[in-house]
Structure 1
Amino acid sequence: MDSERIELLINNQEVPTDRYSEIKDPGRLTDVVGYVAMGNVHHVDQAVQAAYQAFLSWKKTSLEERMTLLSHAAKVLKDETLPLSSTMSRETGMLLKVSQSEINLAIRVIQVTLEHAEDFLRPIQMEDENSWVSIEKRPIGVIAGIVPWNAPMVLTMQKVAPALVAGNTVVIKPSPNAPMSVSIALKKIASLFPAGVINVIHGESDIGSALNKHPLVRKISFTGGGNIAKQIMKDAADSLKSIQFELGGNDPAIVLDDANLDEVIPKIVNRVFWRSGQICIAVKRIYVPNVMYESFYSKMCEIVDEFKIGHSLDERSTFGPVNNNNQYQYVKGLVSRIKLGSAKIVELGKRLEPEQWNNGYYLQPAIVRDVDPMQEIVTCEQFGPVIPLIPYRTDEEVIQMANKTEYGLGSSVWTCDFERALRISREMEAGMTFINGHGQSRLGHEFMPFGGVKQSGIGRENSEVGLAEFIEYHAINYHKPQKS
């Protein structure tokens, strides 16, 4: 396959630079997917200035026109699904069907945003005999959107769609580990909009810092890790910028003693190893009652051992590589440390092309049993294909163990008893709890605010609550003349 060249996008113009990053296929490290222009501080200023100038007129554009253009953007994604998903799979290592489903979800993000926009953005007005009040929602200004590599398209659209429909302009910084498909899509979408409404800048942490510190950036929306979020908060502090963070998770799945394991285990396995475990709301630890621990472990091993590990574009593959060397080495280190302890770890799955194993970031899915509740693999966010099973005795004990973490993104409860599940769900210290599933249903995608508590985030995405992240409230109070 030919390698593609991706430039910066500033004011609807492609901007070349003097330095390009080589993007390699995580499943074929000898294959170069493309070359991406790396910006400098001057480019950051150009992009923000372009976004600011565009904002001055874009904020006055009618809501109807903004919604129409975003509807056209959704159609662009639909029309470009096949080439975009192929590029995304080659740069992320995700299976092709996973990339295709992500683009479909990104389209749905735009559609859901549009469904909520008109009602949410409408002013609220009231009056009595003495005065008239209008509570109005106006755009913030230039939004810096910083997105990660694991689900680049949908996480970009969760920032772009609500920001633009509310009347803001954006400067997007894709992850250096998966910048191509997002940049290609945004270039096509940007051509629908006035120049400067959508800008794309590439670079490492210094570029991100310059973007976050720029005085014309009014809000930073970031999805990623907690350490980077802390640095962003410092960068934002001098100008008191608003922030919105969707950060890591260590999502517990609590299996209750009345659960039907034949139904439950395949669903849990899917949510553990989706994207090879590289998703913020993947199940990252499983709590199983003592009385069914052995049965659960055996059944789970049988299912996981059927995974076929291979390249993202290999139609036989059901399990792909991890995305980058840092994550690969981190997960390998976790596995090595587990093997040195008392817990038992089993690595499963079948290698499709053993001769290519060292030419990609391939890891076998692994299950850890007989693990201490406070062991590293239980308390960390592994963000990879290793899952611990932790036994428990009572509902009260498992609630306490599940909440004993600084993470609080998602959680799930698996049972035949809805009332019992609901009671436990309401005890979870998490932004979201799912019952007999792990992830949002179609109805959930439409109405659930997405985000976490504690160190899993600040603010929310999705639904009307997500739209509220991209507006400022402006209250107007008219005092009527009083009759003498």
Structure 2
Amino acid sequence: MALEQFRNIVAGRKVEAKDGGWFPTANPFDGKDWAELPRCGPADAEAAVEAAHAAFIAGDWPALTATKRGKLLRKLAELIERDAEKLAALEVRDNGKLYAEMLGQVRYIPEWFHYFGGLADKIEGGVLPTDKPQMFSYTKREPLGVVVAITPWNSPLMLLCWKLAPALAAGCTIVIKPSEFTSASTLAFAELFAEAGFPAGVVNTITGFGGEVGPTLVEHPKVAKIAFTGGDATGAHIYQQAARHIKHVTLELGGKSPNIIFEDANLEDAARGAISGIFAASGQTCIAGSRVLVQRSVYDEVVEKIVAIARTAKLGDPMDEATQVGPITTTQQRDKVLSYIDVANADGARCVLGGKRPDDASLADGWFVEPTIFADVSNDMRIAQEEVFGPVLSIIPFESDEDAIRIANDTIYGLAAGVWTSSIARAITMSDRLRAGTVWVNTYRAVSFMAPFGGYKKSGIGRESGQHAIDEYLQTKCVWINLADGVPNPFVLR
């Protein structure tokens, strides 16, 4: 049976790789290849950047008013709403996450385009009061230029749109490089831009492997900015490459987020919040609350509650509404998760649930790992310090508020954190002292197009979503106009 084929969009046309190469993509639930994508190389990446640059400097896109740009974004939002079920189903086939989760995400994505569509014609400069007589000075906010958006495999469309919406609202043009593991939904999504009325070349896609197309995209002299979501090691490499060419970057990287449960919390809610923080999306999320810190006085009780809930989790077909935990997206990631479980056992952590591939024969072909919980974890163990990116939870005891802060902040990451308490004073104090870009109190894993998202420390640079995200794609120009006749001494600074 022939595999379904997807093609890239470059300069408004559907294209294959210039050398005719293809590579397969597999369904994590059954391990079978179901589609194939163009295996692009440097020449393809060059063509995509050139198309984006041409669209940025001339033609219909730069001639559009900001108001018309906003209308295009809102039209795109309507098309995403129309095709949400189709796009979500493609994501499930590609990354194995629950259909309920993916459909919820895709149905929420239009809000980013409505929001930033509304901001497009509210990008303002200002008149400057200067100390120079007979001089008029003002500022303009202008788009950076060509943006390369490099996206991961866990939530391809949502994390792409966090970049696309503000970049397009600002007036930039885009080259999208999706993960080689989950490119299909991005290519289907990219077809909507022409239907929405975007000029050719404004949004382009390149599929393939990072080592084969990445250097061209990141180092190309006509690329102004790299917006990347992924692992911190890859992010650091991209940062180094971009720095050599003085490019702007936004990096949303890894996390080892603490989810802190105090003795005065509603323990039932806190236990459910711990489950949501790690086993939703099979732990394959940068904001995963993979370290649950529990106050010693309620430690045993909370561990028991978390294990009891996790034990009931139903593994299965991610398209089935009854399924709660789906497969790992790639075989490489599954093997990495299993290796971390071995490391945790060797380091002396106590495995109280899971710890292996499921025994269910109906899941044998899929890339599953059981929901796994380690208790009595010390924060210096590798399982507590390194990002596993899978359904593996470390539970760590703490004594006091000071102890909780010390443990929570003792990591190279700072993407997110959770606090469970009935004390408003403690909630505010902990939120102030936690070194994380997002802090949730008595909830976990909530995001919004209105709220800035990004990390401290090695969790990244810059922010996505919220009003200020559009600033990541703009630069400021200052204009001086001489209102006087004549030019004074030309050999001295005005």
Shift of 1:179: 0.4
Shift of 1:43: 0.8
Cα distance in structure 2, aligned partners of 1:441 and 1:187: 27
Q: Is the contact between residue 358 and residue 370 of structure 2 (CA under 8 Å) also seen in structure 1? A: no
Aligned CA distance change for structure 1 residues 107 and 284 (closer, same or farther; 3 Å): same
CA RMSD of aligned residues (A): 2.1
Shift of 1:479: 4.1
**Counterpart amino acid of residue 166 in structure 2:** P
Cα distance in structure 2, aligned partners of 1:457 and 1:255: 26
Cα distance in structure 2, aligned partners of 1:12 and 1:168: 16
Structure 2 residue 53 is the aligned partner of structure 1 residue 47: no
Cα distance in structure 1, aligned partners of 2:455 and 2:90: 30
What is the aligned partner in structure 2 of residue 213 from structure 1? 219
Aligned CA distance change for structure 1 residues 2 and 67 (closer, same or farther; 3 Å): farther
Task: Name the SS for the 1:199 alignment partner.
Answer: strand
Q: Is the contact between residue 134 and residue 477 of structure 1 (CA under 8 Å) also seen in structure 2? A: yes
Structure 2 residue 8 is the aligned partner of structure 1 residue 4: no
**Counterpart amino acid of residue 23 in structure 2:** S
What is the aligned partner in structure 2 of residue 300 from structure 1? 306
Cα distance in structure 1, aligned partners of 2:239 and 2:359: 44
Cα distance in structure 2, aligned partners of 1:85 and 1:351: 26
Per-residue deviation, residues 241-277 of structure 1 (Å, max 9, x unmatched): 1111010111111111200101221122112211101
Shift of 1:2: 7.8
Task: Name the SS for the 2:255 alignment partner.
Answer: coil
Structure 2 residue 409 is the aligned partner of structure 1 residue 406: no
Structure 2 residue 94 is the aligned partner of structure 1 residue 88: no
What is the aligned partner in structure 1 of residue 157 from structure 2? 153
Q: Is the contact between residue 26 and residue 91 of structure 1 (CA under 8 Å) also seen in structure 2? A: yes
Cα distance in structure 1, aligned partners of 2:155 and 2:2: 23
Structure 2 residue 318 is the aligned partner of structure 1 residue 312: yes
Shift of 1:316: 2.4
Structure 2 residue 264 is the aligned partner of structure 1 residue 258: yes
Structure 2 residue 171 is the aligned partner of structure 1 residue 167: yes
Counterparts of 1:431-442 in structure 2 under 5 Å? 431-440=437-446, 442=448
Aligned CA distance change for structure 1 residues 112 and 353 (closer, same or farther; 3 Å): farther
Cα distance in structure 1, aligned partners of 2:362 and 2:472: 45
Counterparts of 1:320-335 in structure 2 under 5 Å? 320-335=326-341
Identity level (%)? 30
Mean alpha-carbon deviation: is it higher for 433-442 or for 100-109? 433-442
Mean alpha-carbon deviation: is it higher for 161-170 or for 121-130? 121-130
Q: Is the contact between residue 310 and residue 351 of structure 1 (CA under 8 Å) also seen in structure 2? A: no
**Counterpart amino acid of residue 156 in structure 1:** L
Per-residue deviation, residues 172-226 of structure 1 (Å, max 9, x unmatched): 0000011001110012224421110010001112201111111111111111011
**Counterpart amino acid of residue 207 in structure 2:** H
Shift of 1:469: 0.6
Aligned length: 478
Aligned CA distance change for structure 1 residues 431 and 40 (closer, same or farther; 3 Å): same
Shift of 1:355: 1.8
What is the aligned partner in structure 1 of residue 459 from structure 2? 456
What is the aligned partner in structure 2 of residue 282 from structure 1? 288
Cα distance in structure 1, aligned partners of 2:240 and 2:308: 48
Mean alpha-carbon deviation: is it higher for 37-46 or for 351-360? 351-360
What is the aligned partner in structure 1 of residue 396 from structure 2? 390
What is the aligned partner in structure 2 of residue 60 from structure 1? 63
Shift of 1:126: 4.3
Match of 2:201 among 191, 196, 201: 196
Shift of 1:348: 4.5
Cα distance in structure 1, aligned partners of 2:395 and 2:265: 16
Task: Name the SS for the 2:31 alignment partner.
Answer: strand
What is the aligned partner in structure 1 of residue 492 from structure 2? none
Shift of 1:240: 1.2
Task: Name the SS for the 1:113 alignment partner.
Answer: helix
Structure 2 residue 493 is the aligned partner of structure 1 residue 473: no
Give structure 1 stretches of 5+ with no counterpart: none
Mean alpha-carbon deviation: is it higher for 154-163 or for 103-112? 103-112
Give structure 2 stretches of 5+ with no counterpart: 486-494
Q: Is the contact between residue 398 and residue 404 of structure 2 (CA under 8 Å) also seen in structure 1? A: yes
Per-residue deviation, residues 435-484 of structure 1 (Å, max 9, x unmatched): 11123355xx41x22100111001111112210010111112334439xx
Cα distance in structure 1, aligned partners of 2:239 and 2:413: 18
Task: Name the SS for the 2:63 alignment partner.
Answer: coil
Shift of 1:421: 1.0
Cα distance in structure 2, aligned partners of 1:177 and 1:90: 11
What is the aligned partner in structure 1 of residue 488 from structure 2? none
Shift of 1:332: 0.2
